[in-house]
């Protein structure tokens, strides 16, 4: 029996005890209620986070924490929350010595009101990004996208058919204005059976949240790395 290994990346977040909660905003979006809470670390008053809660009658259904502020000898991090186009938006500024970097982290609303992080979260640059523009988003975020591909990709059958012992490919997509994913190219391996399998799973892939530029939805591009190893 041949086994298949998919490479996955897992981010582990440390758990910190917080206190001194402050309600920043309470809002109803897509018939779901949310609270944005600012909390301060009970052990370090310089550490602050936003806690975005999905609530029903003040009972927390789910929540996500986003860093608001911290300061170390190397850098100082600040983010400012605002609601933009029904998206939880965090304008990030990071100061490192004489350099200042900027970014925008977002939380989108998925099925059943669950929040998920934007694919561009964590990206910083020397230029301030436009808070009304963003790339196409797979519902659930990048990790959910990788899990969806892992679940739907029939890697064991493909490796048995081709005799390949694994492969590294880039699946390049165009996401149209209504969020439909369209296969643009597969690079890294030109085996026709591999391309046929990629075409199959892209046809069954659910719609994305389309990219937006200012007030208009636009066609956007996205590249997905797929690394598969097979062994006996």
Per-residue pLDDT of the chain (232 residues; tens, 9 = 90+): 444 444 444 333 344 444 578 999 999 998 999 999 999 876 777 789 999 999 998 899 999 999 999 999 999 999 999 999 999 999 999 999 999 999 999 999 998 899 999 999 999 999 999 999 999 999 999 999 999 998 998 888 888 888 887 788 999 999 999 999 999 999 999 889 999 999 999 999 999 999 999 889 999 999 999 888 765 4
Cα end-to-end distance, the chain, whole Å:
7
For residue 89, how far is the Cα from the chain centroid?
A: 13
What does the alpha-carbon distance between residue 54 and residue 58 come to, in Å, rounded to a whole number? Answer: 9
Question: What's the pLDDT score for residue 230?
Answer: 64
Q: What is the pTM for the complete model shown?
A: 0.82
């Amino acid at each position: 029996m041949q086994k298949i290994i998919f490479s996955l990346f897992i981010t582990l977040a440390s758990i910190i005890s917080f206190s001194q909660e402050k309600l920043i905003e309470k809002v109803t979006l897509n018939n779901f209620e949310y609270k944005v809470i600012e909390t301060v670390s009970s052990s370090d008053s310089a550490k602050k986070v936003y806690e975005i809660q999905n609530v029903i009658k003040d009972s927390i259904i789910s929540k996500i924490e986003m860093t608001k502020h911290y300061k170390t000898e190397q850098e100082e991090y600040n983010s400012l929350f605002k609601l933009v186009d029904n998206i939880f938006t965090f304008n990030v500024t990071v100061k490192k010595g004489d350099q200042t970097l900027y970014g925008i982290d977002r939380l989108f609303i998925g099925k059943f009101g669950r929040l998920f992080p934007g694919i561009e979260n964590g990206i910083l640059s020397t230029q301030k990004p436009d808070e009304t523009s963003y790339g196409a988003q797979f519902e659930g975020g990048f990790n959910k996208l990788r899990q969806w591909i892992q679940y739907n990709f029939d890697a064991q059958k493909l490796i048995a058919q081709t005799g390949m012992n694994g492969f590294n490919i880039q699946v390049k997509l165009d996401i149209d204005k209504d969020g439909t994913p369209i296969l643009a190219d597969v690079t890294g391996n030109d085996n026709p059976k591999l391309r046929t399998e990629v075409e199959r799973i892209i046809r069954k892939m659910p719609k994305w949240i389309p990219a937006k530029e200012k007030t208009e939805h636009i066609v956007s591009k996205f590249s997905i790395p797929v690394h598969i190893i097979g062994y006996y």
